[in-house]
Amino acid sequence: MKIKGRFIMATHIVLTRIDNRLVHGQVGVVWTSSIGANLLLVANDNTANDKLQQELMSATAESSGVGIRFWTIQKTIDNIHRASDRQKIFLVVRNPQDALKLVKGGVPITQLNIGNMHFSEGKEQITKKVYMDQADKDALTEIANSGVDVFVQDVPEDRKQSLKEVI
């Protein structure tokens, strides 16, 4: 348990993943069943206000038999401590900066899986499906330095590569 303010927070988050696509078949089916999650929590400010994205991701969650919630980063920070004991949460964020905000906000993240980070201008290829710029590397390093196990792993069958191995 971690203590944040007056709250004693049990860690109900079984895994946190960075994935530009957020919830899709690989996340909603393969990862969710592999880690035993029963709730997908998408922490992303844009998606929390985009009904179309929510509908598409909800269909994936429904096909896996798990619940899904769409919260802003701040709502996640403010409410994650209220998770019930029966909730096994798979927390999904779009980028390292959002993950860092959650960690700094006291969200009890112990493991951060880097899944897909697509190419964009200024990003270099780190692994087959992960591209980063210096801001990404800095955010991930800060997260790792706070005690979070940060690793790259596309699918559960792949070998985990620690952050130190890839950057």
- What angle, 0 to 180 degrees and rounded to 10, lies between the N-to-C axes of helices 134-145 and 96-104? 30
**Would you say 98 and 73 are in contact if contact means Cβ atoms under 8 Å apart?**
yes
User: How far apart are alpha carbons 23 and 25 in whole angstroms?
Assistant: 7
Cβ neighbours around 130 below 10 Å, total = 23
User: How far apart are alpha carbons 16 and 91 in whole angstroms?
Assistant: 5
Whether 81 is a known active-site residue: answer no
Catalytic amino acids? 24
